[in-house]
Each structure stands twice: as C-alpha cells, then as structure tokens.
A and B are shown apart, each in its own frame.
Chain A
Amino acid sequence: MLAFVARRLISIVPVLGIVAVLVFLMLRLTPGDPAAVIAGDNATNEQIDLIRANLGLDQPLVSQFFIWIGKVLQGDFGESYFFKRTVASLILQRVEPTLALSVCTLIIAVSVSVPLGVIAAYKHGGLIDRAVMAFSVAGFSVPVFVVGYLLIYVFAIELDLFPVQGYRRFGDGIGAFFRHITLPSLTLSVVYIALVARITRTSVLEVLNEDYIRTARAKGLTDLVVLMRHALRNAAVPILTVIGIGIAVLIGGAVVTESVYGLPGLGRLTVEAVLSRDFPTIQAVILLFSVIYVVINLLIDIGYTLLDPRIRY
C-alpha cells in the first residue's frame, strides 16, 4: 500500500510537468496581451511596448518558459502582473472562501444525496424514487447561476434570512461565516446532490438483487441493517468514484457560484486572471487545481481499499 501511495505521489511530478508546459503554451498562443491590458485603453503603442519589456514579455518564448519553470521549482510562482504581489500570497488570500464553499457543499451534498439515493433504491418504482429522479434531472438541467438567483430571491430578498453577497472569514465569527456561506453552498450542492443521488440509487439497486442480500434478509436482519451494512457498503465504490469525479464539477461550479455571490475565492481569481491575461496567476492556479485533483484521486483510490478489502494495489 505504501509503495502504491509513493508511486502515485511520484506520478504527480510528470503530470504537473505536462500541465505546466500545456498551460504555458496555451496562454502564450492565445490572443491577448497583458501589457495592453495593464496600459489601459488610452495608451499608446510606445507605452504598451515599455510595459511589455518591463514584464519580460519581449523575450523569446523558450527563455520565458525556463525562467518561469526555474522559479517554480524553487517554490516561487512569481508576481502577479497586476497586483504587484506574489502569486502565492494572492492564492493564499483566496483559498479560504473556495475551501469553505467546497467543504460545506461536500458535506451538504453527501449527507443529502446518499440517503436520498438509498431510499430511492429501497422504494424503487415508488413515489419517493420518482421524486428523487425528477430532482436529479432538474438538478442537472438547471444552470448553477439560475439556482443561485432563485435562492437569493427567496432567502435573501424576500425572507431576508441570508445576505445577497459577500464573504466573512471563519476567524471573523462563526455566525457571520455561516450566514454568508450557506446560500452559496446550497446552490452548488444541487448539481452535486443530483449526480451522487442518481449513482447511489443505481449502485444500491444493483446490489439489492445480489444473493448475499437475499441471504442477509433470510437470516432475519432488519431492512435498515441490510441496507446500511450490506447493501450500501458494497455499493460504496462507485459512489466514492462519482464523489471524486464530482470534485471537477465542484471546481467548475465554484467559479460561477463565487461570481453570483461575490465570494473572493480561487474561482473568481482564475476568471479575473484569464480575462486580464495575468499569466503567472493563471499558471499557478491551474497547477494548484491539478495537484488537488490528483491528490483527491489518490485519496479515493486509498478509500477503495478501506471500503472493499478485496481491492489491493
């Protein structure tokens, strides 16, 4: 197992290397010039050229890449073209809202979707099952921003229970924190609930037809015990997989949710950086997301062995 984990951790290196090269090339080959953005709309070509030279963007592409990658290997992600701050400090400042949003969304989504999926499978063909499936279809179909605006209208504007926008850090008070993170988390969890509930239902339904379930029932175990101890555990591997895959959905959804609720997170930082062609920031954020994605996949692989002892690496 330890060897597997070590192998997977080492495999992160070439993955990040490929990501780094691709991101660097894609950004340079995409139209747009950060110097022109910085200079402003009224700037002359001379002003733009001076800024470009100032940023080192007038150097050959290969030189730019090796300067950047050399610094990254030393843990220096460079300085944002716009904020004149290190990219690391910008990311650190933006991590908390995104982390809070993701964790709250995961907690809400998993604690709602897994029971919903299990109940739907248990009541297969019934009203609850149909309702869960209808919710799933709706959850997939309605865009995140529409869900966001609906929740804002009902819970913030009409009922005045939550603020429309903004973020309060955990350190500013737990009450303020939850007041500001609840609606965004609910918004983002809708699509996640739809995804996980559907897979949970399918997996549990498949397991419920297995011989060992019939045996468990024949032994006189209650439905709850059969479902929780025998069915759910055996259905857990695909559920865990989809939770992991859903992290990608979560990252994409966080970009939209952070915009709708005005959360100063990594999603918005990415969008702002892309729109303004802030190359060092985009490169660092994408590398960070890649690391997160690889690590989550590793954790899921480890999780398989805990849920199903037959799986060995």
Chain B
Amino acid sequence: MTHQIRKWTMTAAAAATAAMLASAAPVSAQTLKVVKHSDLKIIDPIWTTAYIVRNHGYMIYDTLFSMDEKLEIKPQMVDKWNVSADQLTYTFTLRDGLAWHDGAAVNSEDAISSIKRWGAKDSMGQKLMSFTKELKAVDAKTFQLVLKEPYGLVLMSLGKPSSNVPFIMPKRVADGDPNTQLSDTTGSGPFIFKKDEWKPGEKVVYVKNPNYKPRAEPASGLSGGKVVKLDRVEWLAIADMQTAVNAITNAEIDMIEVPPHDLLPVLAKDKNITLFSSNPLGNQFTFRFNTLSKPFDNPKVRQAVTYAFNQKDFLDAVIGDSKWYKECKAMFVCGTPLASNSGWEDKLNSNYAKAKQLLTEAGYDGTPIVLMHSTDLLVLANLAPVAKAHLEKAGFKVDMQSMDWQTLVARRAKKDAPAAGGWHAFLTSWVSADILNPVMAGFFNSACDKAMFGWPCDEKMESLRDQFSRESDPAKQKAIAEAVQVRASEYPTHIHLGQWYSPIAMRKNIQGMLAGPVPTFWNVTKN
C-alpha cells in the first residue's frame, strides 16, 4: 500500500513538473515587455495631462508636427505647409496614405476637429484658439488655420511634445464633448491598442499597425519615420520597483522606464542590462510659491528664498549620483535654444546673509511658512526637508506638513489661508519638455485667478508672455524669454532646483531606443 502511494505521488509530481516546464516556454521574440512609470487607467490623452496617458497617445495616434532630437518642429502627418505673407493664414496638406486603424482615410475634417478638441482643453491650445479666426477644410487633404492677428507659436503649439499633445483623432471621436472621456481608441499611429486584452492593473497591449505609412526620413526624437520593428508591446503593471528590478534581472521583462535612482547601481552591475539616458532634457525640480498668502504675497520675501536655496543640496538629497543630475539655473532648461542664466547669476548660492537682509527689508514678521511635504513619491520625498533647512537658516519659521501626493494635489488647489487648510509652498518636478518657453511653462502664467495654483498676478510678466507668443523671430523670442526670466527673479513665481535625469533600464538585446522627451517604441528591435 505504502509503495503504491509513493508510486502515485511520484507520478503526480512528474506530471506537475512537466506541466510547469511546458508552461515556461518563452513568448515570441518580438514581444517587448515594459514596466512603465505608472499603470494606464485613463485612455484619453486630451482629458488628462497624466504622462502615462500622453505616452499611450504616442503609441496609437499621430501628430501633425513633432519635435525632433534637436528640438526643432518638423512635419509629421503634414506633407507640406505654408504661411501667407501677412502671417495670418497657415495652409497644411496631409501626407498621402494616412489611414485610421479601421482602414478609413485620414482627412482634413479629422485634423480640424482634433485641433478644436485639444484647443478646448490644453493651455497652449487655448492660447492658439484665442488667436484663431477659423479652421477650414480646403479639400480632403488640405486645411487652413486663419489667425485674427500674427501668432508666433503656431507650429510649436501643433508640435507640442508633451501634455496635452495635439493628437489627431477621427472626426467622430474628436467632435465629442472635450470634457467627457473618450472610449473609442481608433487612431492612425504606429501601434493599435488591443482594448480586448487591456487588463487594468495587469497589462496594456499594443500590436503593430500593419497599415501605418512611416515618413521617409530617419526617426529623430518624436519625428521622422516611425518604423515599427516589433509585433507587440506589453506594458506591465508592477507596482513594486524591487520586483521590477528582479524581473528584468531574471529576463522576465525587457525594460523598466523609470527605475529608482537607489537601484541604479544594482542594475549597472548586471552585464545583461543597459542604462540608457533617453531624455537629454530630463526633468526639473521646482519650488512653487503661493503668492496669495502672507508673507509670500511680498515679492521681496520670495526673492529671499531664491538667495537661500542652492540646487546641489536638493539634487544630492534625491538623486545622489552626480552622473544623473546637473545644476542649471536656466528656467527654460539647459541645452535648449532659450537657455540662459539671466537674472539668476547671484541666486541659488545659499547666500543666507542676503536672504536675511531681504527679509528684514520686507518686514517679515515670523509667520510660519506652511510647506507641504509629499512623502509617498520617492522622487519628491526628500525635497521638502532640504527646503525647510535652507529656509530656517535664512531666518524663516517653517511648518512642514507631511502628506501623500494626492492630498497635496487637492490641497494646492485651495486658496484658503495657510492656517485654515491652505498652503505657502510645495515642491514638485516638471518634465523639461513641458517648460521649454514662457507660454508652455505653466508656472510663469501670472494671470491672477486664471494662473495655475499659486496664482501669481503680474501685468509685466503677462505682457512679456504675450509679446513672446506674438513673436516668430527666434532671436527676438530668445530676448523676450530672457526678459521673462529676469522678471521671474524680481517677481518670483517659482524656483528651479536642478535638472535631473532618469535612465531607462533595458536588456542588452533591446536596440534602437530613440532619445527624446517621451519614450517611444518605434525603431526598437529585440534580438
């Protein structure tokens, strides 16, 4: 009997082992498995500014214009374009062979409806629409944008690289209410979204669009020929980064989009893994003032903060390894055409004596600064304690209040007094591609109630931003941008605390990733 039981047990164990081994068979070599920075929950890239949704947009949609790796705006869906001598009429002609995922041809009406939907939601889109007299179709492939008065940022707006990106959608989709989330995911981009395989919290699946017609030029940044060399891309939701690192080490996944900086040394030691710095512009840590609340309603008090801080302390506290950060005082990002230190040369050097002198001149009365401290996002958690230390050394009293990021996001929208549930300041991080000029960078908006949380109110700043938006000459644009930056040192709306980079971790058999502000999967091969 015992012998019989043992025999059955052995047989069952052998069968189970065989079944397990059979199930461990490798998946197709052309399936790329990626752990993104977040799980995809919303699929409408116009409804939200969340970066994961923007990235989803780049998979399935195409754009009229795109930014290349030199930060120049290049035609993408557009074949040719021209502007009238009076700078008021832009005429765009779409490329031949553009088609939606369902096979229908892309036409001018689709582009017009998409621009209108985006223009209703996005801040740069709203600005463009405020200058627009009409958008009209000339024929199936040609349409015109007619302006009320010259506007210098037409192409920059249509080629805007980051949220909200003016993705082109079918007219039937784009004509819907821009404040209602779309559910139809038909695009004309290089990948097709497999809605039937989408399991929120588990994975998002894209397959190659076999009918996509890439441009002839080589891919560069977000522009050029989007040649798809993979059959399938899967975005896997792995919330725990240590698990994601274990999974890439074990070759269960191919790529981690944003591995945490403290695990980079572990990944760097693995001979099968490459750390690829895909985004040369990186990100910018930012300190935001609430200009409605005393004492930050006084520009001189805010200037004191610009003297008290230095970027290195913030960058060391969060990033650590100087390989992945750069001290950069340029408010329109180092390495871009508008980069400049104007107005900030003597600031961000932790000159506490100067900061104290300004506080005395401003009559600072010791009101505690309510500093919101986000604790749950690794990349932000160490910023507020560093800010607190510098502010205290400069003579401020600081009440640092810890909370999760979503609580902070809700609270920063409140205009209440800091003692009654409002706030004085918080720290965040911008993707550099979102802050490349004074109109794009939302924190410069100083239109009082219409400005972003913090609500700066400064006619001079608004006048400069308006001048910038009307100017199309690059040299004059740069001069205006410098003036904006100088004004931001006199009337500080926010402070940049350093440029930082996050490399993509990928297995060495993955090739062809492009450098750019958004990680894209065309041109990528898996050997």
Chain B interface residue count: which class? 35 or more
Q: What number of residue pairs across chains A and B have CB atoms under 8 A from each other?
A: 152
Residues of B within 8 A of A277 (CB): 406
Would you call B49 and A173 a contact (CB within 8 A)? no
Would you call B410 and A175 a contact (CB within 8 A)? no
Residues of A within 8 A of B43 (CB): 84
Stretch at the interface among A228-236, A246-254, A264-272: A264-272
Residues of A within 8 A of B51 (CB): 40
Q: Does A166 contact B (CB under 8 A)?
A: yes
Residues of A within 8 A of B411 (CB): 31
> Closest residue of chain A to B407, judged by CB?
A31
B19-57 Cβ-contact flags toward A at 8 Å (1 or 0): 111111000000000000001011100011111010000
Q: Does B499 contact A (CB under 8 A)?
A: no
Would you call B239 and A262 a contact (CB within 8 A)? yes
Residues of A within 8 A of B47 (CB): 38
Q: Does A140 contact B (CB under 8 A)?
A: no
Q: A32-B407, A264-B202, A268-B239 are in contact. Are A165 and B24 (CB under 8 A)?
A: no
CA distance A44 to B249 in the complex (A): 41
Residues of B within 8 A of A137 (CB): none
Residues of A within 8 A of B19 (CB): 173-175, 178
Would you call B240 and A272 a contact (CB within 8 A)? no
Chain A interface residue count: which class? 35 or more
CA distance A54 to B42 in the complex (A): 15
Would you call A44 and B123 a contact (CB within 8 A)? yes
Would you call A157 and B199 a contact (CB within 8 A)? no
Q: Does A86 contact B (CB under 8 A)?
A: no
How close is B415's CB to chain A, nearest CB, in angstroms?
9
Residues of A within 8 A of B121 (CB): 47
Q: A42-B163, A51-B179, A179-B20 are in contact. Are A90 and B410 (CB under 8 A)?
A: no
Would you call B179 and A50 a contact (CB within 8 A)? yes
Q: Of the candidates B23, B49, B201, B247, which one forms a contact with A164 in the assembled complex, judged by CB atoms under 8 Å apart? A: B247
Q: Does B417 contact A (CB under 8 A)?
A: no
How close is B430's CB to chain A, nearest CB, in angstroms?
8
Would you call A268 and B409 a contact (CB within 8 A)? no
Q: Of the candidates B41, B49, B200, which one forms a contact with A41 in the assembled complex, judged by CB atoms under 8 Å apart? A: B49
Q: Does B452 contact A (CB under 8 A)?
A: yes
How close is A109's CB to chain B, nearest CB, in angstroms?
20
Residues of A within 8 A of B289 (CB): none
Residues of A within 8 A of B462 (CB): none
Would you call B236 and A43 a contact (CB within 8 A)? no
CA distance A41 to B49 in the complex (A): 7
Q: Does A192 contact B (CB under 8 A)?
A: no
Q: Does B404 contact A (CB under 8 A)?
A: yes
Q: Of the candidates B163, B403, B406, which one forms a contact with A275 in the assembled complex, judged by CB atoms under 8 Å apart? A: B406
A147-171 Cβ-contact flags toward B at 8 Å (1 or 0): 0010011001100100111111000
Residues of B within 8 A of A141 (CB): none
How close is A210's CB to chain B, nearest CB, in angstroms?
33
How close is B20's CB to chain A, nearest CB, in angstroms?
4
How close is A151's CB to chain B, nearest CB, in angstroms?
11
CA distance A38 to B242 in the complex (A): 27
Would you call A85 and B200 a contact (CB within 8 A)? yes
Residues of B within 8 A of A271 (CB): 239
Would you call B409 and A41 a contact (CB within 8 A)? yes
Would you call A164 and B250 a contact (CB within 8 A)? yes
Q: Does A83 contact B (CB under 8 A)?
A: yes
Q: Of the candidates A36, A42, A50, A90, which one forms a contact with B200 in the assembled complex, judged by CB atoms under 8 Å apart? A: A90
Would you call B247 and A264 a contact (CB within 8 A)? no
Q: Does A260 contact B (CB under 8 A)?
A: yes
CA distance A94 to B121 in the complex (A): 34
Would you call A37 and B23 a contact (CB within 8 A)? no
Q: Does A261 contact B (CB under 8 A)?
A: yes
Q: Does A259 contact B (CB under 8 A)?
A: yes
Would you call A44 and B452 a contact (CB within 8 A)? yes
Q: Does B94 contact A (CB under 8 A)?
A: no
Would you call B48 and A38 a contact (CB within 8 A)? yes
Would you call A39 and B247 a contact (CB within 8 A)? no
How close is B153's CB to chain A, nearest CB, in angstroms?
17
Would you call A165 and B247 a contact (CB within 8 A)? yes
Residues of B within 8 A of A157 (CB): 246, 249-250
> Closest residue of chain B to A163, judged by CB?
B252
CA distance A41 to B48 in the complex (A): 9
A276-304 Cβ-contact flags toward B at 8 Å (1 or 0): 11000000000000000000000000000
Would you call B39 and A259 a contact (CB within 8 A)? no
Q: Does B428 contact A (CB under 8 A)?
A: yes
Would you call A36 and B409 a contact (CB within 8 A)? yes
How close is A149's CB to chain B, nearest CB, in angstroms?
7
CA distance A90 to B453 in the complex (A): 34
Q: Does A48 contact B (CB under 8 A)?
A: yes
How close is B354's CB to chain A, nearest CB, in angstroms?
32
Would you call A260 and B243 a contact (CB within 8 A)? yes
Residues of A within 8 A of B42 (CB): 38, 82-84
Q: Does A215 contact B (CB under 8 A)?
A: no
Residues of A within 8 A of B123 (CB): 42, 44
Would you call B163 and A40 a contact (CB within 8 A)? yes
User: In chain A between 36 and 67, which residues have their CB closer than 8 angstroms to a CB of chain B?
Assistant: 36-45, 47-48, 50-51, 54
> Closest residue of chain A to B410, judged by CB?
A33
Residues of A within 8 A of B179 (CB): 50-51, 54
Residues of B within 8 A of A156 (CB): 246, 250
CA distance A36 to B374 in the complex (A): 15
Would you call B180 and A178 a contact (CB within 8 A)? no
Would you call B49 and A178 a contact (CB within 8 A)? no
Would you call B50 and A40 a contact (CB within 8 A)? yes
Residues of A within 8 A of B180 (CB): 54
CA distance A83 to B107 in the complex (A): 30
A24-37 Cβ-contact flags toward B at 8 Å (1 or 0): 00000011110011
Residues of B within 8 A of A173 (CB): 19, 22-23
Most chain-A Cβ atoms within 10 A of its Cβ — which of B47, B180, B200, B404?
Answer: B200
User: In chain B between 434 and 459, which residues have their CB closer than 8 angstroms to a CB of chain A?
Assistant: 434, 442, 450, 452-453
Name 17 interchain pairs, CB-CB below 8 A, sorted by A.
A33-B409, A36-B413, A40-B163, A44-B123, A45-B413, A47-B121, A50-B179, A84-B43, A157-B249, A165-B244, A175-B16, A178-B20, A262-B239, A262-B244, A269-B201, A272-B239, A275-B404
CB-CB nearest 4 A-B residue pairs:
A175-B19, A40-B49, A176-B23, A33-B410
Besides the known contacts A33-B413, A175-B23, 7 further A-B residue pairs in the complex with CB atoms under 8 A apart: A33-B410, A40-B51, A45-B452, A48-B413, A165-B238, A262-B238, A262-B243
